[in-house]
Structure 1
Amino acid sequence: MLFTTILLAGLASAAPALSSREATTGLDPWEITSVFAGRPSGRPGSGTNSSLRINIKQPNTINVRQAPTGQAVLPPFEASCTWSWVAAGKNFPVGVETLCIPGSYGNFTMTLSGTNQADFTVAIKETREVNVLQQRFVRIFDGDQAFKVGDGLWRQNCGGSGVCSWQVAAGSLPIEVHQELTESIGSCEDTGSC
């Protein structure tokens, strides 16, 4: 009996704990609701900046804890991230974490990698933070989405003058992006108030 107890205790302590990245969030994926990119022709009077805009929606209501007035939640929200850079040369804004125009209930940041509007990946980070009854709750999620001309999702249209635009193929929106919970501080389980 003692041997069985020691064996079970040893096995339990040897089992790896789930990291927040491995834990299942049970949330609906984010939704990219629109993406548009443009490059001017370079002709006089046509403008000098290239641009990229991505709109994203966080569709989930995340329960935080029970409060005197009901369940405290992090509600759904939408945000828009935009970049503008000088079109001449190789100025695509790679590696710069950009704060999206936030909603009231959290924020998204996006970081680009790749070569230009025709072939890039966007790393997406959602940060939610709230204090309820003097307890801090933080949820951070990460995800990414690739856009490449020729993949069937991302389309390029260029005119004879050199002006180009890129957008998502018709019927492909919204684009679902599966996020992973990468950091969690405070939970309703901690306070027994789920």
Structure 2
Amino acid sequence: MRNLKFFALASLFALGRSSEQHQQPQGDLKPWEVTRLSTYSPSGRPGSSPLAHLWATIANPNSIPAGSGASFEPSKANCTVDWTWSTEEPYGRTVSCTTGNQTAISDSISKWTIEIIKANSNYSSPTEDFDVKFTLTANLTVNGEDYYKVLAGTQHFAVGENMRGTCGGSGLCSWGLMDESNPVLIEPTLVASS
């Protein structure tokens, strides 16, 4: 009887560990890579567009085990955040990114979002000093079983740190990643999974 109880407990532990392995990314995740990030603020002159922009390209180089021998595949996205310069701030809005075509050999579907977060700084412009949060949601169906993982990562961007550019006499400013800072790396963290 004692051996039977031990066997039952050992089986439950093994089953729990097996389930737990599917909940956590296995192995070390490589950092995400931001290969393009630029901002634009308008001049504010009459007749010119009032829109400010942030453009970013992010890539996840990881293939993450999902279960049943399947994996969430690497992915890449282009993100754009637009806002009216004189009347809006871009902070706190989650915006969907464009992922392009998924690979034909995988049933893994990746969705990316971007959110600009206000940095604690002296800069008054949300195009010159800010944090960006990227979120990746990966979905996969294998043999009728649905799997998903949600990962998120945040990075700081600022003129003079990892961005440079120019402001014209009209007030128009344009900033982008410094060549020596490209790519900017972001450590992803697992937020949710099944």
Tell whether the structures are fold-level matches, with TM greater than 0.5: yes
Aligned residue type for 1:178: E
User: Do residues 130 (structure 1) and 140 (structure 2) align?
Assistant: yes
Show the 5 A alignment for 1:22-101.
26-66=28-68, 71-89=69-87, 91-101=88-98
- Find the partner of 2:113 among 109, 112, 116: 109
Offset of residue 32 of structure 1: 0.5
Cα shift readout 1:49-86 (whole Å, capped 9, x = no counterpart): 111111100111223234xxxx4222111111101111
1:147 aligned residue: 157
Alpha-carbon spacing, 1:163–1:21, altered in 2? closer, same or farther (3 Å): farther
Q: Distance in 2 between matches of 1:83 and 1:149?
A: 18
Q: Distance in 2 between matches of 1:29 and 1:44?
A: 43
Greater fraction of residues in helix:
2
> Which piece of structure 1 moves more, 49-58 or 22-31?
22-31
Q: Distance in 2 between matches of 1:126 and 1:92?
A: 24
Q: Distance in 1 between matches of 2:29 and 2:65?
A: 11
2:106 aligned residue: none
Q: Distance in 2 between matches of 1:52 and 1:86?
A: 12
Q: Judge conservation of contact 1:25–1:181 (CA < 8 Å) in 2.
A: no
Cα shift readout 1:14-41 (whole Å, capped 9, x = no counterpart): xxx99x9998751111110100111121
Offset of residue 136 of structure 1: 1.4
Q: Any unmatched runs of 5+ in structure 1?
A: 1-16, 186-194
Q: Judge conservation of contact 1:25–1:180 (CA < 8 Å) in 2.
A: no
Please give the secondary structure, in 2, of the residue aligned with 1:171.
helix
Q: Distance in 2 between matches of 1:26 and 1:184?
A: 17
Offset of residue 181 of structure 1: 1.3
TM-score, length basis structure 1: 0.75
Count of aligned residue pairs for this structure pair: 165
Offset of residue 156 of structure 1: 3.8
Offset of residue 162 of structure 1: 0.8
Q: Distance in 2 between matches of 1:143 and 1:25?
A: 18
Q: Judge conservation of contact 2:140–2:146 (CA < 8 Å) in 1.
A: yes
